[in-house]
Amino acid sequence: MDAVDTTMEKLRAQCLSRGASGIQGVARFFRRLDRDGSHSLDVGELQRGLAELGLVLDAAETEGVCRRWDRDGSGTLDLEEFLRALRPPMSQAREAVIAAAFAKLDRSGDGVVTVDDLRGVYSGRAHPKVRSGEWTEEQVLRRFLDNFDSSEKDGQVGACILRSLAHTFRRPQPPVCPQVTLAEFQDYYSGVSASMDTDEEFVAMMTSAWRL
């Protein structure tokens, strides 16, 4: 393990300390930071982003991370490669069942599903807190969807509701609801995976949740 690998382990541990959705939250933040759609960040953007998130790396560690994923010598890191490396390692069995769940949702095959698609399929019946009686299935569903429906967190305040209200004032348009990509789905479940010891347990949870 080299210095950059050690740095990534340190960064990953800080993300996971924030819960199962910690990796996903960091990934979402950095994708938003890529305002020009270049799918890259320079060392300054990475440093500022980490600081804003309260994640601690020193200057040498940040520069090392940028160099590792600077594939073309441009001085910027490839954002998606960096975020993939940030995810906790998963076995092929876990990656396969995550892909199978997403494929079930992505009927068009375009790599994007809506939060409404998730709502229509997800089952929280096997969730430990439902089994214990601490939460209802509806509470589990809402907690799950909150990880992906970031409209209020983004300051867009109910994008679906506002789009629906537009029917009153102009030509009707279908409401536009938040979308989820395969990468975001993988980000979330990589964090969940880190808290589950065996492949069998993880695969059983995914099979129940997505009725595979």
- Same structural domain, 65 and 34: yes
Q: How confident is the model at residue 177 (pLDDT cuts 50, 70, 90)?
A: low
Mean pLDDT of 176-184: 81
Q: Are residues 99 and 71 in the same domain?
A: no
User: Model confidence over 122-151: pLDDT tens digits?
Assistant: 988 878 788 889 989 888 888 888 888 755
Q: What is the mean pLDDT of the chain?
A: 84
**Per-residue confidence (pLDDT) for residue 107, from 0 to 100:** 83
Do 80 and 150 lie in one domain? The reply is no
CB-based contacts of 105, cutoff 8 Å, min separation 6? 113, 117, 118, 121, 210
**Contact criterion met (CB below 8 Å) for 39 and 78:** yes
In degrees, rounded to 5, the angle at the alpha carbon of residue 121 between the alpha carbons of residues 199 and 127 is 50
CATH code, 185: 1.10.238.10
For residue 185, name the pLDDT band (cuts at 50, 70, 90). very high
Q: In the structure encoding, which two tokens stand for residue 121, read together?
A: 């399929």
* 102, two tokens: 């997403």
Kindly state whether residues 61 and 120 are assigned to the same domain.
no
Last residue of a domain, one of 34, 54, 86: 86
pLDDT classification of 168: cutoffs 50, 70, 90: very low
- The amino acid at 93: A
Instruction: Report the domain count for the chain.
Output: 2
Range of the domain at 200: 92-210
